[in-house]
């Protein structure tokens, strides 16, 4: 009786989910020609085409739709057997997108600790603008996205919460009453930076970026040295021993909205468990100001 190797089916699922031979090759750790060869071998064993060459991008033939549906079921059973016998699923790379605001948070160490529960998990972590990361997760290019918003997002998330932003400064920080407010900033697409600029402009104040860095260590040192003021979540300020400017003459800051999004399709067991784990870690850092708004929903 003819047997179809599961690695061929897994390659097909990767190509379909990622809508790209190149991205499938990267996720599987092989070359693009190897992916093409595996798809050709699968089609040879089946005796028919599963991908529609006449359609743009990656499209399935009617028979291919049947194959992919049953391939997912077979691979799910395969992975479940491995999980039952070894205590965790077979190796999986989780592609995570985080905002620049989380550069110095608990996230990196939390990812490492989570791997103690899923030893074969590996990560591909990157940062970018929120809009781009949400677009990538819808396309299947990312598995999990953490994001910060200055307004409550309308896109459904698995978890959503609020964080209290605060102004941090040093006793040596000097503000010119008639001049721009000196800002220490994350640079790039930072929700905390946008919040600070918006709050200042609404109060009729201008700002000057006196120190910009993606490194929280550098930012903390700049604030402590008196370069300028900075906005960050209260919990992170406390954790990094920064002086919160409670009686600041600067404008009051509205809440930040945090969210975790999980992609649709494919095997999501480890991804959803990671999302739940990261939510707990983030809220632990933001205590007592963090407040859960919604949880348990996925991005559509």
Residue-wise pLDDT for 235-264, tens only, equals: 888 888 889 999 888 999 999 999 999 988
- Asked if pLDDT for residue 198 goes beyond 90, the answer is yes
CATH placement of domain 165-244 = 3.40.190.10
Q: Centre a 10 Å sphere on the Cβ of residue 287 and count the other Cβ atoms it contains.
A: 11
Average of per-residue pLDDT values in the chain = 84
Q: How far is CA 127 from CA 47, 100, 124, 246, in A?
A: 43, 6, 10, 31
Domain limits, the chain: 6-86, 92-163+256-295, 165-244
Residue 294 has pLDDT above 80, yes or no: no
Q: How far apart are CA 137 and CA 271, in angstroms?
A: 12
Architecture of domain 6-86: Orthogonal Bundle (1.10)
| Average pLDDT score over residue span 38-61 | 87
User: What is the bridge-based pairing of β-strands 256-262 and 144-149?
Assistant: antiparallel
Coil, strand or helix at 101: helix
Pairwise CA distance, residues 14 & 17, whole Å: 5
Helical spans, DSSP H, in the chain: 6-18, 21-28, 32-46, 62-86, 107-114, 130-139, 191-202, 216-224, 234-239, 269-286
Q: Residue 295: its pLDDT value, please?
A: 54
Residue 231 contacts residue 253 (beta carbons within 8 Å): yes
Contact 12, 74 (CB under 8 A): no
User: Does residue 18 register a pLDDT over 90?
Assistant: no
- Reported residue count of the chain is 300
CA terminus-to-terminus distance, the chain: 41
Of 88-92, 132-136, 148-152, 161-165, least confident by mean pLDDT is 88-92
Nearest to 260 by CA among 149, 165, 166: 149
CATH, range 92-163+256-295: 3.40.190.10
Q: Do domains 92-163+256-295 and 165-244 have the same CATH topology?
A: yes
The model scores a pTM over 0.85? no
């Amino acid at each position: 009786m003819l047997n179809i190797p599961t690695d061929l089916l897994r390659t097909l699922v990767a190509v379909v989910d990622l809508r790209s031979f190149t991205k499938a090759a990267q996720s599987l750790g092989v070359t693009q020609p190897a992916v093409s060869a595996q798809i050709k071998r699968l089609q040879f064993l089946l005796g028919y085409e599963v991908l529609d060459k006449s359609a743009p991008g990656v499209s399935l033939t009617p028979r291919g739709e049947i194959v992919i549906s049953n391939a997912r079921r077979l691979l799910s059973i395969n992975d479940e057997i491995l999980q039952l016998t070894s205590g965790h699923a077979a190796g999986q790379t989780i592609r995570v997108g985080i905002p620049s605001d989380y550069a110095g948070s608990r996230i990196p160490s939390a990812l490492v600790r989570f791997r103690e529960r899923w030893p074969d998990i590996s990560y591909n972590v990157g940062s970018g603008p929120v809009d781009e990361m949400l677009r990538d997760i819808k396309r299947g290019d990312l598995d999990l996205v953490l994001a910060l918003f200055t307004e409550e997002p309308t896109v459904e998330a698995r978890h959503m919460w609020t964080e209290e932003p605060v102004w941090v400064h040093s006793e040596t920080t000097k503000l010119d009453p008639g001049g721009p407010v000196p800002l220490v900033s994350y640079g790039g697409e930072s929700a905390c930076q946008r919040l600070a600029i918006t709050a200042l402009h609404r109060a009729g104040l201008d700002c000057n970026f006196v120190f910009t860095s993606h490194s929280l260590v550098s930012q903390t040192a700049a604030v402590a040295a008196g370069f300028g003021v900075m906005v960050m979540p209260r919990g992170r300020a406390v954790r990094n021993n920064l002086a919160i400017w409670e009686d600041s003459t600067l404008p009051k800051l509205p809440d930040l909205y945090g969210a975790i999004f999980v992609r649709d399709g494919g095997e999501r067991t480890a991804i959803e468990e990671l999302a739940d784990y990261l939510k707990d870690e983030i809220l632990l850092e933001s205590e007592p100001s963090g407040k859960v708004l919604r949880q348990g929903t996925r991005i559509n």
